[in-house]
Chains A and B, each alone.
Chain A
Amino acid sequence: MTGENGVLIETKGLKKSFGELEVLKGIDVQIKKGEVVVIIGPSGSGKSTFLRCLNRLEEPSGGQIIFEGEDICSSSANINLLRQKMGMVFQQFNLFNHLNILENITIGPRLVKKADEKISAENAMKLLDRVGLADKAQEYPSRLSGGQKQRIAIVRALAMEPDVMLFDEPTSALDPEMVGEVLGVMKDLAEEGRTMVVVTHEMGFAQKVGTRVLFMDEGQILEDGTPDQIFNHPQNPRTKDFLSKVLNCI
């Protein structure tokens, strides 16, 4: 179910403060079904906070978030049900350390959706096969590399069959040689038409895979456009400044 014109997520005047510090200063944005929205911007600009507000891991201080036509901040909203439809991938992977890989993937469907154990295991194996990690099903997270962990984390989110995938700097904690394998999986997801919201510092990914790029700074979206517009014809001086720093760092 989506709102008008295929809008999946809409925020209206979304605000978030931590004590005195106002991190989000009123964000209005619409994310449509099938879009790959990449959010870029300097550290501390509120990108991650924005993303974490979308599934209420952070409680917004003001404004509205409408997901599939429902205000997720209203007291009647069933946040646990809504979160099932929003997969999330974290910078620090956050695999469940006490469970093996297969259990990591099936625990969500089994506990939350009451899925059959056998069927959820079969689904998990199919997904693991897709990311090339089927042979790791019985391993524990501590035995995997960062890149492998993050691919598992993506699979764990996918196993819930979400309508949108949220990525919070998924490659920032990885060794450089492992960034590619994770971005590769994300690119595949984008190509099959999944709705994705990605906070990242990988400008190449934003340019090549993103269908839309948001530039955030100081708690506001300063520029919103196609990758071509943002990277090749930025309008806002702060966008220009940021891009010149990250694209020509030497």
Chain B
Amino acid sequence: MGIWEILAQYYQYFLRGTRTTILISLITVFFGFLLGCVIALLRLSKNRLLNGFAGLYITVLRGTPLLVQLYIVYYQLDFIPFPKMTVLDVALDRALPCAIALSMNSAAYIAEIIRAGIQAVDIGQSEAARSVGMTGAQTMLHIVMPQAIKNILPAIGNEFVTMIKETSIIQYLGVSDLMYNNGIVVSATYNPLPCYYISAIIYLILNLVAGKGVNIFERRLKRSDR
């Protein structure tokens, strides 16, 4: 069976898998970003305990393999009764722990990106803000963050693209993402190579689209920065 025949006969598997991959990626990126913001703020906090916790979090999550984290989260959270239902062909009791593990992992990287972006804003900006009487929170929200976001965004875009690729790991927990469906087609056709080419091209397209999206957003931000 050649690549075109495989596509003609099994394209639904690839489409279904792609949909799951996109869903999981979006969820991961969203919660990873939120959690990353929190960890970054803790990391910048003057409170030693909070700061130390964030530092430890980042070290551990960046210092261990994602696959190991995935299994640990899955078994560690088995006391949580995740709903045994299927949404868009995705088994939630497997997909949710995956989304949690991926978000936690992504958050560690995003936190470091955000911290660096905030620290790259000239200290004079916050001094000026404080000198007119703004509170620390007002300074962060109205002065530092809007400027930091321009430093942060390109790196976050990279991280998003990385995450889309990394989601391929969730096939090991039996979540029917693109790679999982790829596996089904391989066993059905006994012809792995074309299947992997198809998956590679799909991942590539997803990442090109995501990269383009980030570019457009960046350009819009730059427009305000004449």
Contact of B132 among A97, A140, A156 (CB under 8 A): A156
A83 to B134, CA, bound (A): 9
The answer to whether the Cβ of A73 comes within 8 Å of any Cβ in the partner chain is no
Q: Which residue of B lies closest to A159 (CB)?
A: B132
15 new A-B contacts at CB < 8 Å, known A55-B131, A87-B131, A153-B128 = A57-B127, A57-B130, A83-B133, A88-B128, A92-B124, A94-B124, A94-B127, A98-B143, A98-B224, A98-B225, A107-B142, A108-B133, A111-B134, A111-B142, A140-B226
B78 within 8 A of A: no
- Within 8 Å of chain A (Cβ to Cβ): is B162? no
Encode B103-142 as 1/0 by CB contact (under 8 A) with A. 0000000000000000000101101111111110010001
Considering the complex, which residues of chain A in the window 97-137 have a beta carbon less than 8 Å from any beta carbon of chain B? Answer: 97-98, 107-108, 111-113
Q: Which residues of A contact B (CB under 8 A)?
A: 55, 57, 80-81, 83-84, 86-88, 90, 92, 94-98, 107-108, 111-113, 140, 142-143, 153, 156-157, 160
B103 CB to nearest A CB, Å: 29
Q: Is the CB of B133 within 8 A of A81?
A: yes
User: Complex formed: what's the CA distance from A84 to B147 in Å?
Assistant: 23
Complex Cα distance, B127 from A156, in Å, reads 13
> Considering the complex of A and B, which 6 residue pairs feature the smallest CB-CB distances, nearest first?
A108-B132, A84-B133, A94-B128, A94-B124, A88-B131, A112-B133
Does B146 make an interface contact (CB < 8 A)? Answer: yes
8 intermolecular pairs with C-beta atoms under 8 Å apart: A57-B130, A57-B131, A90-B131, A97-B125, A97-B147, A98-B224, A111-B138, A140-B226
Q: Are A160 and B124 in contact (CB under 8 A)?
A: no
B208-226 vs A: 1/0 string, CB under 8 Å? Answer: 0000000000000000111
Q: Is the interface of B mostly helix, strand, loop or mixed?
A: helix
CB atoms of B127 and A90 under 8 A apart: yes
B11-34 interface bits toward A, Cβ cutoff 8 Å, 1 = contact, 0 = none: 000000000000000000000000
| Closest beta carbon of chain B to A177's beta carbon, Å | 24
Query: Do B124 and A84 have beta carbons less than 8 Å apart?
Result: no
Residues of A within 8 A of B225 (CB): 97-98, 140, 142
Q: How far is the CB of B142 from chain A (nearest CB, A)?
A: 6
Contacting residue for B134 out of A112, A143, A156, A157, CB 8 A: A112
B132 and A96 form a contact (CB under 8 A):
no
Report chain A residues within 8 Å CB of B122: 92, 94
Tell whether, in the assembled complex, residue B143 and residue A96 are in contact, meaning their CB atoms are under 8 Å apart. yes
Which residues of chain A are near B129, meaning CB under 8 Å? 96
B130 proximity list for chain A (CB < 8 A): 57, 80, 83
- The CA of A156 and the CA of B142, in the complex, are separated in Å by 16
CB-CB under 8 A from B142, the residues of chain A are: 107, 111
Given the complex of chains A and B, what is the CA–CA distance between A94 and B143 in angstroms?
11
**A140→B127 CA distance, assembly (Å):** 19
Within the complex, the shortest CB–CB distance from A165 to chain B, in Å, comes to 11
Bound form: Cα–Cα A197–B129 in Å:
20
Most buried by A among B127, B130, B132, B226: B132
**Closest residue on chain A to residue B126 by CB atoms:** A94
A160 contacts across to B, CB distance below 8 A: 132-133
Residues of A within 8 A of B128 (CB): 88, 90, 94-96, 153, 156
- Min C-beta distance of A65 to chain B, whole Å: 15
By beta carbon, the residue of chain A nearest B135 is A80
Residues of A within 8 A of B124 (CB): 90, 92, 94
Instruction: Tell me which residues from 172 to 208 in chain B have a Cβ below 8 Å from any Cβ of chain A.
Output: none
The reply to whether A98 and B132 contact each other, CB–CB distance below 8 Å, is: no
B43-67 vs A, CB cutoff 8 Å, 1 = contact: the mask equals 0000000000000000000000000
Interface string of B137-160 (1 = CB under 8 A from A): 010001100110000000000000
* Residue among A84, A95, A111 having the largest count of chain B Cβ atoms under 10 Å: A111
| A79 to B: closest C-beta gap in Å | 9
